[in-house]
Structure 1
Amino acid sequence: MTSAPVNEQGPRRAILGQLPRMYRADGSPIRVLLVDDERALTNLVRMALRYEGWEIDTAHDAAEAVAMYRANPPDLLVLDIMLPDMDGFGVLAEIRASGPYTPILFLTARDSVVDRVTGLTAGGDDYMTKPFSLEELVARLRGLLRRSAYLTPSDDETLRVGDLFLDATSREVKRGDDTVALTSTEFELLRYLMRNQGKAVTRQEILRRVWEYEFGGKSSIVDLYVSYLRKKIDAGREPLLHTVRGVGYMLRSPR
């Protein structure tokens, strides 16, 4: 596998002193399970995440990862796809079938569109490819925590666009009578679009408001998530989610 390049100052500036530390709702440290068979990489990432004040457990194969997850479910899971005994998609399937919801970020050298689609549609919340920046990894994990249900402050916001309904307290989404299952990232993307119904929003606006990170102009991640969201809310129905050519996206009621 390809190890991550390290910018010694960039990650330290982001991790130390610029951003407030994040904790679980009860004030205890965030717990991360890091799964990768490359020990040099897990040591590097563990060191970076410890600057955040988080507790890090590591597993180097699928069996160890599933056993550790079931024994003590973490708040975040960072998961490689290429593991020696079973691929990361299999690990994801076992975890999603048997455990509580945990935000999952794939961190892998496999960068094909098929792999990204498989990982995200199977229930992954984000996807990063190697080589990678530690600063960006930390930013994405912090974003996942902000979007995850247990850290999101409860409110009584309900939103409707046509027959699409979103309840922020229960985090329930329905299209007509059908419940729509969304990952935390898809939920926040939909909530942002529904709050701005009838308004064209740019990809950069979506990145700033949903991911809370610029990603160095990598707006293709927005297109990827919009395509997944469109399949879940518009499949077989009159479309609500529209592409505004040259601008971005808009959610609007049928005319």
Structure 2
Amino acid sequence: MNRICLVEDEEKVAAFISRGLQEHDYIVVHVNEGISALDVIAAQSFDLLILDLMLPDISGLDLCRQVRKDNPTIPILMLTALDRVDDKVNGLQAGADDYLVKPFHFSELLARISALLRRFKPVVPQDEGLLMFSDLKLNTFTKTAWRAGVEITLTTKEYHLLELFMRNANKTLSRDYIAEKVWDIQFDTGTNFIDVYVNYLRKKIEKGGQMKLIHTVIGMGYILKDKGV
């Protein structure tokens, strides 16, 4: 799941962009000031940055230059109401990889983001995209899973949940940790949605009486392990 840092001081615009991106399975961290954004970007890992040119504390161009200095490879999409050619040139020269003028259609924003992520996707050997545990396999490139050679159909959340388990095999994962990593939220102890989704996933990977792989650790969470561990 791709993580995006959105630096935008207009709350309505930020809410519109954040809501739309989250509906398309992006994790969005919103910051409304440039100085704060530098701290957030330094402390967290992001796949793409969306920077507004007009910020209340520092120039978006200066922010872009500093980010590019510290993160030479991260894709940066600049948003602005300024549509002169010189403004676009200045943005690109400051280190932005693309430039989108407000107002814009959300579909165009999605297309620009998708294009940048494809363009900057690291080249990884195919076998590095394959996770394996017991007779369970998960291809993180094609987002497909198999159990004993039989393909398993997963929803988006089920896929991310299975990937989290497989990347942390034989480790107990708390509900708090699962909620943060898969849903990017803090777990509410008054709800059981984590248990519901784990149950959905269990039914799919243990269909037909296959050996149980996801186990409940009472009072702590869940663990992916086979009976020999």
* TM-score in terms of structure 1 length: 0.47
| Cα contact 1:120–1:126 (8 A) shared by 2 | yes
Task: Provide the rounded CA distance (Å) in 2 between the counterparts of 1:154 and 1:121.
Answer: 33
Residue 119 (structure 1) aligned with residue 101 (structure 2): no
Give the aligned partner of residue 43 of structure 1. Answer: 15
Give the aligned partner of residue 139 of structure 1. Answer: 111
Q: Give percent identity, aligned residues only.
A: 38
Structure 2 matches for 1:1-255, cutoff 5 A? 29-99=1-71, 101-150=73-122, 152=123
Task: Provide the rounded CA distance (Å) in 1 between the counterparts of 2:72 and 2:84.
Answer: 29
Larger radius of gyration: 2
Return closer, same or farther for 1:74/1:59 CA change in 2, 3 Å cut-off.
same
CA RMSD of aligned residues (A): 1.6
- Report Cα offsets for 1:43-99 as digits up to 9, x if no partner: 100011012211100010101111110011311101100000111111111111123
Q: How many corresponding residue pairs? A: 126
- 1:53 maps to a residue whose letter is D
| Cα contact 1:33–1:76 (8 A) shared by 2 | yes
| Cα contact 1:77–1:105 (8 A) shared by 2 | yes
Residue 124 of structure 1 aligns to a residue in which SS?
coil
Structure 2 unaligned runs (5+)?
A: 127-229
Return closer, same or farther for 1:70/1:112 CA change in 2, 3 Å cut-off.
same
Residue 83 of structure 1 aligns to a residue in which SS?
coil
Structure 1 unaligned runs (5+)?
A: 1-28, 156-255
Task: Provide the rounded CA distance (Å) in 2 between the counterparts of 1:154 and 1:125.
Answer: 26
Deviation at 1:100, TM superposition (A): 5.1
Following TM superposition, where does structure 1 have runs of at least 4 consecutive aligned residues deviating by more than 2 angstroms?
Answer: 152-155
- 1:43 maps to a residue whose letter is A
